[in-house]
């Protein structure tokens, strides 16, 4: 640890070149002031520009009807192209490798139709133990759909590190032991519970060496960490856009298909929006996929859901991912340093300490168990300090560089200190 915790938050905020981006967001109110909002890992805040962008689409619909497909301010027909460069920037991908469509779990299923092709010799999916429930359900149901048994053919890598995190050695050992039976490695970019970030390129290298296909669920990584999906070599990936991508509840998901699969003849579920664009409106009977990730689209895109994504991605482009990551590392290091220096008897940090093994989130286990943890969490909410609670005893705090301040962190620390002072709940 360095002496970061001794620097006043006001000074760090004054030195923050990205500070003005906070004004681009609507910060929820708490009494006469603002919340200290640390829940961007669950639902990112609303960019100010979203309301106007939505009204524009409503106005175009009202004024132009079907003609807005071609003559709206942002014509609907090619609308998904308006988010393409922004998504490619977020994903570290070529523009043709990404597309905005559907929702996350739907995209995982859709992409597994093409990229999970189990055989009797190689039926299994490798994933982390304790994955987000939707991912567990999706994997198990895919295995069952193909006539295999999740009890033997969903293989989970157990945490092997003290705080419940997973070492690369454990992943490698699982691949050494089971690799010949594994059809698909499905891995998180950032684990939702522990906040652990993984080396996607290394996982891909190890898994490909065993002949496995590799997909990533980037729900907690997209907009949190700079990604390099193309260079990672991963076969496919998907993420949601309502967490760090600030695009609103249920926002359109993003999907990545590596360029080497651009004209893949793997089986896929088809819809008219994935059809070759030049001949789509000839309405012919034969499906001819358009090259790239676009070829996995099913339906014409939901414009009212894409509009917020367009606004939000624009903020990421303007701020720049390297600058955001630099601030993010500092914000999270500040939170970590304050917890270690001032709250060692109250909170234990679950998330890895090395910056390359985490994004912005710190998962904080409350010492003293569930009831203490709940009491602290409820106290924080009453103070307008919003993290989120994970059973049985973890509070997740995610300072995000686009709208959080160092002052938010010090407000959190001070509140926990007050709650845990000798007269308070923790004896
Ligand atoms: C948030 C999250 C989901 C949510 O899935 P939806 O289909 O968007 O509801 C799924 N998986 C992971 C890992 C998540 O973090």
Q: Where in the chain is the domain with CATH 3.40.640.10?
A: 54-317
Atom of ligand 1 nearest to the CA of 188: 13
Atom of ligand 1 nearest to the CA of 250: 8
CA of 406 to the centre of ligand 1 (A): 28
Q: Which tens digits make up the pLDDT trace of 349-368?
A: 999 999 999 999 999 999 99
Give the CATH class of 3-34+320-420.
Answer: alpha beta
CA of 131 to the centre of ligand 1 (A): 10
User: Measuring CA to CA, which residue among 161, 204, 160 is closest to residue 185?
Assistant: 204
Residue nearest to atom 13 of ligand 1 (CA): 132
Cα angle 359, 396, 184; round to 5: 55
Atom of ligand 1 nearest to the CA of 106: 7
Q: Could you tell me which residues come within 8 angstroms of residue 81 by beta carbon, excluding any fewer than 6 positions away?
A: none
Provide Rg for the chain, Cα atoms.
Answer: 22
- CA dist., res. 167 & res. 165, Å (int): 7
CA of 240 to the centre of ligand 1 (A): 7
CA of 86 to the centre of ligand 1 (A): 21
Q: Which tens digits make up the pLDDT trace of 264-274?
A: 999 999 999 99
273 is an annotated ligand-binding site residue = no
CA of 20 to the centre of ligand 1 (A): 30
- CA dist., res. 196 & res. 385, Å (int): 23
Residue spans of beta strands (DSSP E) within 153-274: 154-157, 182-188, 213-217, 236-239, 254-257
Give pLDDT, residue 27: 98
For 381, the enclosing helix (H) or strand (E) is helix 370-382
Residues in the chain: 427
CA of 366 to the centre of ligand 1 (A): 25
Q: Where in the chain is the domain with CATH 3.90.1150.10?
A: 3-34+320-420
- CA dist., res. 416 & res. 347, Å (int): 9
**pLDDT tens per residue, the chain (427 residues)?**
568 889 999 999 999 999 999 999 999 999 999 999 999 999 999 999 999 999 999 999 999 999 999 999 999 999 989 999 999 999 999 999 999 999 999 999 999 999 999 999 999 999 999 999 999 999 999 999 999 999 999 999 999 999 999 999 999 999 999 999 999 999 999 999 999 999 999 999 999 999 999 999 999 999 999 999 999 999 999 999 999 999 999 999 999 999 999 999 999 999 999 999 888 777 778 899 999 999 999 999 999 999 999 999 999 999 999 999 999 999 999 999 999 999 999 999 999 999 999 999 999 999 999 999 999 999 999 999 999 999 999 999 999 999 999 999 999 999 999 999 875 455 4
Mutation choice for ligand 1 from 104, 128, 189, 197, CB with most ligand atoms inside 8 A? 104
272 is an annotated ligand-binding site residue = yes
Atom of ligand 1 nearest to the CA of 131: 13
Structure tokens given for 186: 């499905």
Per CATH, is 54-317 categorized as 3.40.640.10?
Answer: yes
258 is an annotated ligand-binding site residue = no
Q: Are strands 254-257 and 98-100 parallel, antiparallel or unpaired?
A: antiparallel
pTM over 0.85: yes
Residues in the ligand 1 pocket, defined by CB under 6 Å: 103-105, 132, 134-135, 188, 192, 217, 219-220, 240
């Amino acid at each position: 640890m360095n002496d970061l915790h001794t620097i006043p938050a006001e000074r760090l905020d004054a030195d923050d070149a990205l500070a003005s981006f906070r004004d681009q967001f609507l910060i929820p109110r708490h009494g006469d002031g603002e919340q200290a909002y640390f829940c961007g890992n669950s639902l990112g805040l609303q960019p100010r520009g979203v309301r106007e962008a939505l009204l524009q689409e409503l106005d175009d619909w009202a004024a132009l009807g079907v003609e807005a497909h071609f003559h709206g301010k942002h014509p609907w027909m090619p609308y998904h192209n308006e988010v393409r460069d922004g998504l490619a920037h977020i994903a570290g991908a070529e523009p043709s490798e990404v597309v905005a469509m559907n929702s996350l779990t739907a995209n995982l299923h859709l992409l597994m139709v093409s990229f999970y092709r189990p055989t009797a010799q190689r039926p299994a999916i490798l994933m982390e133990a304790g994955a987000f429930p939707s991912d567990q359900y999706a994997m198990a149901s895919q295995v069952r759909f193909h006539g295999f048994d999740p009890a033997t053919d969903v293989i989970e890598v157990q945490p092997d590190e003290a705080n419940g995190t997973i070492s690369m050695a454990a992943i490698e050992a699982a691949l050494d032991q089971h690799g010949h039976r594994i059809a698909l490695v499905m891995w998180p970019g950032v684990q939702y519970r522990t906040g652990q970030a993984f080396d996607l390129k290394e996982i891909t290298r190890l898994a490909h060496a065993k002949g496995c296909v590799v997909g990533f669920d980037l729900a907690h990584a997209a907009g949190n960490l700079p990604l390099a999906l193309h260079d990672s070599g991963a076969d496919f990936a998907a993420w949601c856009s309502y967490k760090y991508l600030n695009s609103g509840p249920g926002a359109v998901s993003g999907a990545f298909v590596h360029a080497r699969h651009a004209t893949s003849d793997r089986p896929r579920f088809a819809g008219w929006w994935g059809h070759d664009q030049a001949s789509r409106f000839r309405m012919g009977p034969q499906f001819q996929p358009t090259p790239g990730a676009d070829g996995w689209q099913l339906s014409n895109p939901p414009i009212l859901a894409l509009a917020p994504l367009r606004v939000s991605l624009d903020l990421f482009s303007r701020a720049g991912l390297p600058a955001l990551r630099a601030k993010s590392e500092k914000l999270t290091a500040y939170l970590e340093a304050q917890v270690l220096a001032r709250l060692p008897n109250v909170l234990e940090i679950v998330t890895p300490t090395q910056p390359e093994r985490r994004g912005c989130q710190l998962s904080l286990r409350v010492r003293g168990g569930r009831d203490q943890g709940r009491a602290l969490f409820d106290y924080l909410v009453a103070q307008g300090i919003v993290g989120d609670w994970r059973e049985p005893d973890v509070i997740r705090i995610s300072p995000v560089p686009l709208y959080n301040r160092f002052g938010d962190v010090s407000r959190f620390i001070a509140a926990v200190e007050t709650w845990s002072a000798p007269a308070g709940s923790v004896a």
